[in-house]
Amino acid sequence: MRVVTSIVEMQAESDRIRADGRRLALVPTMGSLHEGHLELVRSARRLADHVTVTIFVNPTQFGPGEDFERYPRDLGADLALLSGDAAADLVFAPTVSEMYPEPPLTWVDVERLPDRLCGARRPGHFRGVATVVAKLLSACRPHVAVFGLKDAQQFFVLRRMARDLNLGVELVGVDTVREPDGLALSSRNRYLAPEERTQAVVLSKAVFEARDRILAGETDVAGLERGMRDRIVSASLARIDYAEIVEAETLQPVTTVEPGTTVLAAVAAWFGTARLIDNRIVRAPG
């Protein structure tokens, strides 16, 4: 497995692969890899002949006071994981100065989709995400890029960006990988103290309960959101951030889950210093 740190070298390598007629998949990550990321790599492998994984903790998507400095970084451990059964062909691991040699004057701003959920709580976050993913796509030139649906809002933002900018890349979302008790895998789970870890399971319970109620025919969004909120605050260590149901794809608010429509039931809460998120994309019966 090759490790490339320079954008020019990465572009040349991708051009070579494309010229060979091979299909190229990209899995963008911030490292600190876990089984959820490895599942993305396996999915990418099924979609393409060559898999590049990017490892870059992107400063422009962290707000002031967020965890950019302490975000876990261990390139050696990540490379070891990517040499196992979920093997990457190439890892692109640029430095911050390679990606941002000067403060950027050009940003990718997707409108509307970031207005709610995490975007409403983390101003500028999705601008940073969209900008760095556009830069990673232009460095790695994949045919297909694979993202985890734990960050469903991020996926919808990026898919819209790719469509609006005619980037010529297909974006594929892969379902969340979970611990046996249901907790969504996240690099930030390692911030949790043991009791916080035990209680954090309320997040998955909240979204799965909402899903089950929608599948059983419940349509009242206020009631469904109250149910998710009640489940989260039943954990004494949880500080709820949001519990919302929005239309999937547009991420616009809804008051009723109309039959046959698809909604996103999404939650976020703090446990100690860890802000965790979870969601379910649910198609209502009918």
Catalytic residue flag (residue 37): yes
| Token pair 């990988």: residue | 177
Q: Name residue 144's beta-bridge partners.
A: 25, 170
Q: 267, 203 in Cβ contact below 8 A?
A: yes
The enclosing H or E element of 282 equals strand 274-283
Least distance (Å) between residue 260 CB and ligand PAF: 30
Q: What are the φ and ψ backbone dihedral angles of 259, each rounded to 5 degrees?
A: -55, 135
Q: Please, which residue, 43 or 154, has the CB nearer to ligand PAF? A: 154
Give the shortest CB-124-to-ligand PAF separation in angstroms: 13
| Cα pseudo-dihedral 144, 139, 157, 159, rounded to 10 | -20
Neighbour count for residue 76 (Cβ, 10 Å): 7
User: By C-beta, is 152 or 221 nearer to ligand PAF?
Assistant: 152
Q: To the nearest whole angstrom, how small is the minimum distance from the Cβ of residue 281 to ligand PAF?
A: 17
- The nearer residue to ligand PAF, 61 or 199, going by C-beta atoms, is 61
The minimum distance between CB 125 and ligand PAF, in angstroms, equals 9
Residue for token pair 């608010």: 253
3-class state of residue 11 by DSSP: helix
For 230-262, give the secondary structure using H, E and C.
HHHHCCCCEEEEEEEEEECCCCCECCECCCCCE
Give the active site residue among 34, 37, 50, 125. 37
Residue 20: DSSP 8-state: T
Q: How far is the CB of 58 from ligand PAF (least distance, A)?
A: 4
Residue with tokens 């692969």: 17
Report the residue number, 137 or 210, with the smaller CB distance to ligand PAF.
137
> Residues in the site for ligand PAF, rule: CB under 6 A?
28-30, 58, 61, 129, 132-133, 151, 154
- Shorter beta-carbon distance to ligand PAF: residue 31 or 227: 31
172 contacts 147 by C-beta, under 8 angstroms: yes
Positions marked catalytic: 37
